Amino acid sequence: MTVIERLEGYHDAEEMKARLDSVIQKLGETTISTGEENERENERRLREEQDMAYLKSLRADQEKARKIKKEREEEEKRKREREEEEEKRERYVLYLFSQFPKEPKEGRLTRLNFRLPNGERMVRSFDEEDSLDVSE
């Protein structure tokens, strides 16, 4: 509680009313001024909270985008590695096929049947003098 105005001594009704009106007017201006200050402070605080929420959301979005980008890059790297491994394997298979002796058309032949991992069957003829190296 605050003392706003002090009146001492005898005052007639007109003087008392005038003083009270003056105090009420001053008090109203002060209250309005204080209310405006409070309103400005509340608006400032609200803007600050909104800015903080926006920045937090922005950081979360940036982090999410960074993670997605990183995952995409890692997936692309794995895909490239798989493709390179497959190409390497295919080159090796072609190399192995190039090392086979030419398939003879006649003479003393040995026929071998191969069942490939994909279920395909391959028949190959070799001259009886050819030697093969089996490796895994």
Burial environment of residue 130 by CB neighbours within 10 A (0 to 12, 13 to 18, 19 or more) = middle
**The pLDDT value given to residue 135:** 65
Mean pLDDT of all residues belonging to the chain: 86
pLDDT in tens, 121-132: 988 888 777 776
Mean pLDDT of all residues in 67-95:
95
- CB 109, CB 101: distance < 8 Å: no
118 inside domain: no
Per-residue pLDDT, 123: 85
Q: Which domain holds residue 58?
A: 13-101
Query: By three-state DSSP, how is residue 109 classified?
Result: strand
Does the residue 136 lie in any domain? no
Q: Residue 70: inside a domain, yes or no? A: yes
Count of domains forming the chain:
1
58 or 27, which is more confident: 58
- Tell me whether residue 117 is in a domain: no
